[in-house]
Structure 1
């Protein structure tokens, strides 16, 4: 159904559908659109827009996502979770349709987008900026887990810099979707691989596309946090198969040292696998500690700290009993170090690097910021249908 230029209204705004910008849903078959939002005073802004018919099999699941986003998004203690703007029902061409309005480029920018468009960080974030991001993502994740929920789709594409609140936020539930790729071709997290390759070993061990909507443990989210940390550290993490990704994760969890480049990490992983296939007397690395010492000695200047390597290793242990929980990561040495300021992150990583959000980067007075945050509390989708 062609919906381009279609105008949809709720009680406050009109939404003109402009173009597709991404996908969402179990098999990424549903379209996310860019819309022009026109308010009662004829002021225009832009947003992202999801739609699903009430008769669709996925409708109840999406309503559940919306309600989870609303509950956490309206909680002032959840400032590190990206809320939705609003959700409402509308009759679109004879079908009652749930519409979800999301923040878009004029307000937020994903870290994956920054990694692919900012030439200064195409090879990954510096250690101090990784700390700024991961401290806040971990706070969001702990809040999600405290509410007895799982995330299940943690990637650099779902971690955002929000220009209005000047912080890092994790998209969750209804605010999650996959943007069409920019220049980050070859990334592990392309639409057709994201759901299967990155998941923890206990969740899925096949390469076939499979939608996962339930975990048995919060620690499966911690695995995804570790994979996302690798993407943030290296800019992109192309691999040939899920098997290779699991091998790299095993190397990181054992050696706990991250080289300066993704290619070097792949190479060191392959070397350790080949070494272990040799007879014991011919092995170069008699123990994991020797492999760690070798990793430390091969690079004169480390871009990624040993502390960060330990943090990622704690996330990527295949043994659930040994893998860290969000609570344990809160006490990790990497998190405890000075995480730096958001102003530093904004000025170095974001400001003037992305034209969509540059105009919003002036520091706002606290009182004005509080007013803006109040406006972000979403409206319930369960009211009267129009």
Structure 2
């Protein structure tokens, strides 16, 4: 069979047609629980978000039992080198402006010396068509190979494996680049907050979340011997996983190859109108030394610290009511001058625009703090104009704000699932 060199992985040749798989296969006999009830329904594919999207089609019980219906279509991707398989059973997000799709997948490890496949639980699988999105594919490949690998006790979501495969599950002879990541059951913090009535976190929970992020920055990104910069730090990059067997909660930071938008397929960008899209907050809310500059050399660990402060504002307020950079600068400058955070950013912007002055009179004269002094000190330190004056991740971890609130955060997460 003719060998073709893979341009994205020169060390991994592929055999033409050797990794194409049948459209219909049987469902796994011992899939792990819990699995959503719709996961057993036939899968249909459509371009509702990208060329690699799929949806679950409703089916009646009578049609499922009919002898005329073909076997359920269960899309599987096989790693051509290891022969490990990934059964896609839930659409959980997208990346690269919708060019790539993200799925929860049931991972089965291939063991040549045994006939019984070993199902090893769920993973997250990022997929992009290398033929249709060549630039994005090359970028993802570089990130996956040069980025951080997954470790059991790390605070960064690292890649487990990256490979290419030819399949026919989306269309004929798709050449897909696949990145395997650990599965984070609850999705990103921004997605979690979008499902809660308050759509924001209390200070106690923010201290738990940001502490884990700071540990990730200190121990795995801002390390002295191999210093990196995150560049996109925001609430959408912070992921949560719950092990329901032990009720243990882990909070990890996505970085480069592991970054994706955790959202439902029908969530549209215009849901944030008329305000700036928080998915791009790392761009329109970037540090002064980075914003509007094409040279990435202006960014550094201290620009990540700035984004940590902006993330803190997003978590405590739910969103930032800004229409442009001018509105954003007004909020930051106002916080610096007052040296404390307002109870409501929206009301502060209303006051700036000269509306409802009488209603705002008591708010303007309010002396009582809406948030703790310890939390405000953290935000103010992160949002210092000069990056030299901003603290490091290690210095912030020694601040009084980061006390142990793990039990309350666990209760918050578990209550949201009930």
Aligned to 2:193: 115
- How far apart are residue 220 of structure 1 and its match? 1.1
Query: How far apart in 2 are the matches of 1:114 and 1:51?
Result: 23
Aligned to 2:43: none
Query: How far apart in 1 are the matches of 2:52 and 2:384?
Result: 46
What is the RMSD of the two structures over their aligned residues, measured on CA atoms? 3.5
Q: Are residues 1:163 and 2:263 paired? A: no
- How far apart are residue 257 of structure 1 and its match? 0.5
Change beyond 3 A, Cα 1:191–1:34 = farther
Runs of 5+ unmatched residues, structure 1:
272-293, 356-386
Query: How far apart in 2 are the matches of 1:37 and 1:214?
Result: 40
- How far apart are residue 172 of structure 1 and its match? 1.2
Change beyond 3 A, Cα 1:180–1:225 = same
Could you tell me whether the CA contact under 8 Å between 2:165 and 2:175 is conserved in 1? yes
- How far apart are residue 85 of structure 1 and its match? 4.2
Q: Segments of 4+ in structure 1 off by > 6 A?
A: 268-271
For the residue of structure 2 that corresponds to 1:57, the secondary structure is helix
Report how many aligned residue pairs link the two structures. Answer: 317
> Per-residue CA shift, 1:309-330, capped at 9, x if unaligned?
1211111122223233323323
Query: How far apart in 2 are the matches of 1:251 and 1:173?
Result: 33
Runs of 5+ unmatched residues, structure 2:
1-50, 55-73, 110-116, 355-361
Query: How far apart in 1 are the matches of 2:393 and 2:107?
Result: 41
Q: Normalising by structure 2, what TM-score?
A: 0.65
Query: How far apart in 2 are the matches of 1:198 and 1:156?
Result: 13
Could you tell me whether the CA contact under 8 Å between 2:128 and 2:137 is conserved in 1? yes
Moved more, 189-198 or 250-259: 189-198
Residue 102 (structure 1) aligned to one of 165, 175, 181: 181
Could you tell me whether the CA contact under 8 Å between 2:86 and 2:106 is conserved in 1? yes
For the residue of structure 2 that corresponds to 1:352, the secondary structure is helix
Aligned to 1:247: 330
Residue 65 (structure 1) aligned to one of 136, 143, 147: 143
- How far apart are residue 99 of structure 1 and its match? 0.4
Query: How far apart in 2 are the matches of 1:67 and 1:244?
Result: 39
Aligned to 1:288: none
Could you tell me whether the CA contact under 8 Å between 2:231 and 2:299 is conserved in 1? no
Aligned to 1:322: 389
For the residue of structure 1 that corresponds to 2:303, the secondary structure is helix
Larger-gyration structure (1/2) = 2
- How far apart are residue 201 of structure 1 and its match? 1.8
Residue 140 (structure 1) aligned to one of 216, 219, 225: 216
Aligned to 2:286: 199
Moved more, 81-90 or 149-158: 81-90
Query: How far apart in 1 are the matches of 2:377 and 2:350?
Result: 19
Could you tell me whether the CA contact under 8 Å between 2:53 and 2:91 is conserved in 1? no
Q: Are residues 1:186 and 2:272 paired? A: yes
Could you tell me whether the CA contact under 8 Å between 1:53 and 1:98 is conserved in 2? yes
Q: Normalising by structure 1, what TM-score?
A: 0.70
